[in-house]
Amino acid sequence: VARQYRDLYSDWTVVQPELRRFQDHLMIRNARRIQDSHQEIHELLGMPMPVDANILITLATDAQTELVNVSRAITLHELMTLPDAPAIPAALAEASATMQALRTAIDQNQPPQKIGELWVRADEAWQMLAYYLGPLNNRQAEASIASVAQDLDSIQRTLGIQVQFNRNDMCRSAASLEEMADNLETLVQKWHSRPGNNQAALKNRVHQLVDACHALELAILRRQAPNVCRQQCDGIIGQWQQIRPALAQCTTPEALAINDMIATFTP
């Protein structure tokens, strides 16, 4: 069975690059699914997945193409309605630059470790952009967003990249997040100390956000399980998504600083 499957996979590696000539979105998506299925079959059979440079180039190119499609699909009006609109152009540029660097490294047949490092950077940049685009309601853009994520995931699986988290970096990030939450609470208190601007519910939510950020930092310092920290981070994201729309209503002198906070506070 293994020998027959190797022959089948060998045939696929020849056919797969040819499919891109059709420039058909549905065909490219199906080809990606077939490649992912091959990855799963290799794992089930206990066979090492050969790293095919042509497939990696195809995936990296598709990711870049879909990223461009994302930017083209979003109208200016849609962009301006997103809560993190000011931060999106820079995030898009960073995602584009890191994906180009990844594609170049693959083209140049650089060592797998180097390609893996560039993949991590590209994935981090993409995750940030995807977070900013989360509230978007645009089917065409959403389809391209899903395709980019799938392409990056396929590259990770093809290379066998294992993402490991540096606890020291996580501690620094959590401490920075808590500091920003503290600053936000100070701004909100100043805002609501002005006549006609007292919203107890918002102040309570911001205070709960500060507490949640502090709890996350403690969880990391106490070396709690990654899934516990991940759940706490997800909770912070949920709290932030509830708070963020209300912050945009600020019209007092604190508005500029609050808007800057909206653009930079990213759990």
Average confidence (pLDDT) over 192-203: 85
Q: Mean of the pLDDT values across residues 63-89? A: 90
Tracing tokens 């020849």 back to the chain, one arrives at: 14
Which pLDDT value is given to residue 23? 62
Across the range 160-169, mean pLDDT stands at 69
Which two three-digit tokens encode residue 262?
Answer: 């909206």
Of the ranges 101-115, 162-176, 191-205, 213-227, which one carries the lowest mean pLDDT score? Answer: 162-176
What token pair was written down for 261?
Answer: 């906070």
Which pLDDT band holds residue 20 (cuts at 50, 70, 90)? low
Beta strands in the chain (DSSP E): none
Name the DSSP letter for residue 40.
H
Note the pLDDT of residue 83: 81
Amino acid at 128: M
Contact partners, residue 250, CB within 8 Å, separation at least 6: 191, 258, 259
Average predicted confidence (pLDDT) for the chain:
84
Whether the CB-CB separation of 189 and 183 falls below 8 Å is answered with: no
Stated pTM of the model: 0.61
Asked if residue 67 lies in contact with residue 96, where contact means CB atoms within 8 angstroms, the answer is yes
Q: Enumerate long-range contacts of 257-261, CB under 8 Å, 24 or more apart.
A: 257/187, 258/184, 258/187, 258/188, 258/191, 259/86, 261/180, 261/183, 261/184, 261/187
Q: What is the pLDDT of residue 171?
A: 81
Binning pLDDT at 50, 70 and 90, where does residue 208 land? very high
Look up residue 194 and give its DSSP letter. S
